[in-house]
């Protein structure tokens, strides 16, 4: 079994309020949760309008499946032209069976 954990930090330069930021973030979270069946949520910078940190995790029996998820999550951010990715880190580990 393989475990994927990671985070991404995003800058939303055109966000003018927390309400606008939450709308964008919830869209990103819902899209990735539904499409890739991963655990994902906002984990930091809740009170800042133009910055966020999103954590994600997934478990699979196949390392290739998780590598595909990493690529797909990164690619899904390209859909949002108003977002800049400032950090994208992940760790893919094999669990001790």
| Nearest residue to 10 via CA among 37, 32, 36 | 32
pTM over 0.85: no
Structural domains in the chain, CATH included, are: 2-94 (3.30.70.1120)
What is the Cα–Cα distance from 68 to 37, expressed in whole angstroms? Answer: 12
What is the Cα–Cα distance from 2 to 93, expressed in whole angstroms? Answer: 6
Q: What is the pLDDT of residues 25-51, one digit of tens each?
A: 998 899 888 888 889 999 998 889 899
**Is 58 exposed, middle or buried (CB count within 10 Å of its CB: 0-12, 13-18, 19+)?**
buried
Q: Is the pLDDT of residue 5 over 90?
A: yes
């Amino acid at each position: 079994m393989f475990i994927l954990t990671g985070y991404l930090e995003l800058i939303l330069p055109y966000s003018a309020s927390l309400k606008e930021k939450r709308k964008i973030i919830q869209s990103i979270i819902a899209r990735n949760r539904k499409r890739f069946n991963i655990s994902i949520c906002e984990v930091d910078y809740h009170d800042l309008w133009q910055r966020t940190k999103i954590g994600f995790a997934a478990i699979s029996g196949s390392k290739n499946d998780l590598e595909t998820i990493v690529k797909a999550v990164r690619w899904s951010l390209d859909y949002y032209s108003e977002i800049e990715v400032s950090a994208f880190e992940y760790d893919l580990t094999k669990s001790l069976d």
